[in-house]
């Protein structure tokens, strides 16, 4: 289905009001739409034989990763290279963090080397916001504990917009461990801002009390979550949660909340998303992960364009930068 940018009735803007990207909780629909529209334009750059524009030439970006990552880290690095930024990669293993250096001291020492933007992934909720108090650089949150993962939600929104003409009235079900999921929180904020209906589904032990206040429906039954649903977003089950007693066995989780081939057959228009990494046979049956209506690799592809858009818009550089 053709995509359109006319998903809400808000006024179009040409610059973000925010200086940082810490989460989508405070981003308006107009800002989210601006990022998506800019990402679509960068996606055209990524289709060219030479996938590089000079947009961020002279801008130095440091990727601070204090927690494991494959998709987010590589796509931020690729996005920076595609924009011609100078990039430096930091991971806590092998750094002075292992000698006890704090996040604040680490960041301030790196900033003393004259950097412009920082991408941070950290296991502590609020780490990205804390960083904005320690450094003058622009900060992009690449996932902070169970708080937010805004660029993941933005790439999810871009992927949804590739399949549906508008967000208003769209039914999206997020299935899994909602309590511990930064992906769920960012998606709920983004989807609600754009007018989608959101249902969360999972074991009672994994749905936080009072989540309805975020404007979502709650169900503990997968069939209810999938009935009338346009997009099913399965979340990774963190295997250590089983040790915490939040669900009995992975087999039982799959039987009650795993999306299986029978669901794809019963709901022929449903698309399935997953932020990765997937536990095959747990959140998704393996055939569902590889199904033609699973758009998981499209999400990953869109991640580069979305991160290019976020970096560019937050850089504050002039409009001409997109086309290169
Ligand atoms: N979706 C996601 O954040 O994946 P990584 O942990 O591999 O970055």
pLDDT in tens, 33-56: 999 999 999 999 999 999 999 999
Helical packing angle, 296-315 and 29-46, nearest 10°: 110
- Which of 242, 256, 238, 188 lies closest to 217 in space, CA to CA? 188
Three-state DSSP state, 74: helix
Distance CA 324, CA 307 (A): 16
Contact criterion met (CB below 8 Å) for 121 and 142? yes
* Ligand 1 neighbours by CB, cut-off 6 Å: 69-73, 143, 152, 275-277
Residue 3 pLDDT > 50: no
Distance CA 140, CA 121 (A): 9
pLDDT, the chain, mean: 93
Convert the pLDDT of each residue in 4-13 to its tens digit. Answer: 344 444 578 9
Convert the pLDDT of each residue in 80-105 to its tens digit. Answer: 999 999 999 988 877 788 888 898 99
Mutate to test the pocket of ligand 1, among 69, 73, 300 (most ligand atoms within 8 A of CB): 69
Residue having the nearest C-alpha atom to atom 3 of ligand 1: 72
Calculate how far, in angstroms, residue 294's C-alpha sits from the geometric centre of ligand 1: 17
Calculate how far, in angstroms, residue 74's C-alpha sits from the geometric centre of ligand 1: 9
Contact criterion met (CB below 8 Å) for 156 and 299? yes
Residue 144 pLDDT > 60: yes
Distance CA 131, CA 281 (A): 38
Distance CA 106, CA 127 (A): 13
Question: For 279-299, what is the mean pLDDT?
Answer: 98
pTM, two decimals, is 0.93
Distance CA 209, CA 282 (A): 24
Report which DSSP code applies to 191.
H
Convert the pLDDT of each residue in 224-237 to its tens digit. Answer: 999 999 999 999 99
Calculate how far, in angstroms, residue 300's C-alpha sits from the geometric centre of ligand 1: 9
Question: What is the four-CA torsion angle of 149, 153, 159, 163, rounded to 10 degrees?
Answer: 160
Strands 231-234 and 60-65: unpaired
Best-predicted range by mean pLDDT (13-17, 240-244, 245-249): 13-17
Convert the pLDDT of each residue in 194-230 to its tens digit. Answer: 999 999 999 999 999 999 999 999 999 999 999 999 9
Strands of the sheet containing 86-91, edge to edge, are 86-91, 60-65, 117-122, 138-144
Calculate how far, in angstroms, residue 125's C-alpha sits from the geometric centre of ligand 1: 16
Question: For 185-198, what is the mean pLDDT?
Answer: 98
Calculate how far, in angstroms, residue 75's C-alpha sits from the geometric centre of ligand 1: 10
Calculate how far, in angstroms, residue 142's C-alpha sits from the geometric centre of ligand 1: 9
Band the pLDDT of 75: cuts 50, 70, 90.
very high
Residue having the nearest C-alpha atom to atom 6 of ligand 1: 69
Position in ligand 1 atom list of the atom nearest CA 67 = 6
């Amino acid at each position: 289905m053709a995509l359109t940018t006319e998903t809400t009735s808000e006024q179009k803007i040409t610059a973000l009001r925010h200086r940082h990207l810490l989460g989508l909780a405070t981003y308006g629909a107009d800002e989210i739409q601006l990022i998506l529209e800019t990402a679509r334009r960068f996606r055209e750059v990524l289709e060219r034989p030479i996938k590089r524009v000079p947009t961020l030439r002279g801008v130095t970006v440091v990727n601070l990763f204090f927690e494991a990552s494959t998709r987010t880290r590589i796509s931020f690095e690729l996005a920076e290279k595609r924009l011609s930024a100078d990039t430096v990669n930091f991971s806590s293993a092998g750094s002075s963090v292992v000698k006890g250096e704090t996040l604040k001291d680490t960041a301030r020492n790196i900033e003393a080397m004259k950097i412009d933007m920082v991408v941070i992934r950290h296991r502590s909720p609020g780490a990205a916001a804390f960083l904005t108090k320690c450094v003058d650089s622009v900060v992009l949150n690449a996932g902070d504990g169970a708080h937010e993962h805004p660029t993941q939600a933005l790439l999810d929104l871009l992927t949804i917009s590739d399949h549906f003409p508008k967000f208003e009235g769209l039914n999206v079900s997020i299935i899994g461990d909602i309590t511990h999921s930064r992906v769920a929180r960012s998606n709920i904020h983004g989807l609600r801002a754009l007018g989608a209906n959101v249902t969360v589904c999972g074991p009672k032990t994994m749905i936080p009390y009072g989540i309805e206040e975020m404007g979502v429906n709650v169900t503990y039954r997968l069939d209810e979550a999938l009935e009338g649903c346009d997009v099913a977003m399965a979340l990774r089950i963190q295997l250590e949660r089983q040790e915490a007693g939040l669900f009995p066995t992975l087999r039982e989780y799959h039987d009650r909340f795993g999306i299986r081939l029978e669901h794809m057959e019963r709901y022929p228009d449903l698309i399935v998303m997953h932020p990765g990494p997937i536990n095959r046979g747990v959140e998704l049956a393996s055939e569902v992960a590889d199904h033609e209506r699973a758009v998981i690799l499209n999400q990953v592809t869109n991640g580069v364009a979305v991160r290019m858009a976020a970096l560019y818009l937050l850089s504050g550089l002039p409009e001409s930068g997109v086309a290169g």
